[in-house]
Amino acid sequence: MSSVTAAEASADLAALLALAQRLTAQAGKPSPRELTRLAGGRNNQVFRVDTEAGPLVLKRYFTDARDTRDRLGAEWSFISHAWSRDVRVVPEPLACDRAEQAGLYSFVEGRKLTAAELAPVHVEAAIDFVLAVNAPPRPALAPGSEACFSLAEHIATVERRVARLATLDSDVPHVAEARQFVATQLQPAWADVKATVLSGAAAEGLGLEAAIPADQVCLSPSDFGFHNALIDDAGKLTFLDFEYAGRDDPAKLASDFFCQPEVPVPLAVHEHFTERLTEGLGLDAASVARCRLLLDAYQVKWTCIILNDFLPLGATRRAFADTGAWAQRCAAQLAKAEAQLGLIGATSD
């Protein structure tokens, strides 16, 4: 990657300040005094905007011709809906600029939870949030990223991600080890999991192509888990990052929640999580069966997600977010992928 000159950096900062100025004015907030880049954004650029009335957050969303997802539109619509229902465990949406793919939000004080301190009360708060944003009537938001409305779509989604990993970027560090892992471990594991899902669906009488009824579809935060949450000194959780949110199968929401690797949720509470969703969303027997059948399929999907850095688009997105230490990150991601795949077959008992 080419280095950024001082002149280019200065011009970029000036453009950012101008963008922040427009958005704060649109939101009726004081003018920005300073911008500070915040760490942690993997797909986007996030800045603290200091004003006389306190800090705000400016978020610039990643765009690429090969990735047509409307990240700003998904997040803005989902958070706006939450605020319209008095759900206050998400940042407040203040202003957005669709041409610049940028949004201005309230600043959330807090820190990330660690896996060691994750407690049942936090899981209950996550479920309460999902049920609150799904209180009827539900708005007709767009489908979430990779939304699935049949068992066949779930299988196809994982299949596509596994297939993409058949051709990795030769310029990415540790790509040879990644290729070997994909060929000797990931692909055989997916073949086994897919066969298990198909036989389980047949045993449950679930048609692969049968559309999930509209009343069994939920509003999903997507990429939902404690990796996208902050806890403050009073113990209040605030959930973040809804750029993939939208209508989806509750079974996908549940599977993603338990498969995200950064702050793992114990599988021992999977049954309780499903029970609360069943009661709160009015899930039928087919939806409950999908929650159980698809868990290992999503362990495979998340293994693929972890390996995104080895794909050309993944590298482009990470360069935009500027996470740095590319070789070290790729080695770490490969180790995480191996650990994630090892979770297949774990039960919630």
Give the pLDDT confidence of 235-261 residue by residue, as tens digits: 999 999 999 999 999 999 999 999 999
Residues in the chain: 349
Q: Is the peptide bond before 137 cis (omega within 30 degrees of 0)?
A: yes
pTM: 0.89
Report how far residue 318's alpha carbon sits from residue 320's, in angstroms, rounded to the nearest whole number: 5
Residue-wise pLDDT for 278-334, tens only, equals 999 999 999 999 999 999 999 999 999 999 989 986 666 556 555 457 888 899 999
The predicted pLDDT at position 62 comes to 82
The predicted pLDDT at position 41 comes to 64
Burial of 274 (0-12, 13-18, 19+ CB in 10 A): buried
**Percent residues over pLDDT 90 in the chain:** 82
The predicted pLDDT at position 332 comes to 94
First to last CA, the chain: 48
The predicted pLDDT at position 44 comes to 85
Task: Kindly tell me the sign of the dihedral angle through the C-alpha atoms of 278, 282, 288, 291.
Answer: negative
Report how far residue 340's alpha carbon sits from residue 306's, in angstroms, rounded to the nearest whole number: 9
Residue-wise pLDDT for 43-94, tens only, equals 689 999 999 999 999 999 988 777 778 999 999 999 999 999 999 999 999 9
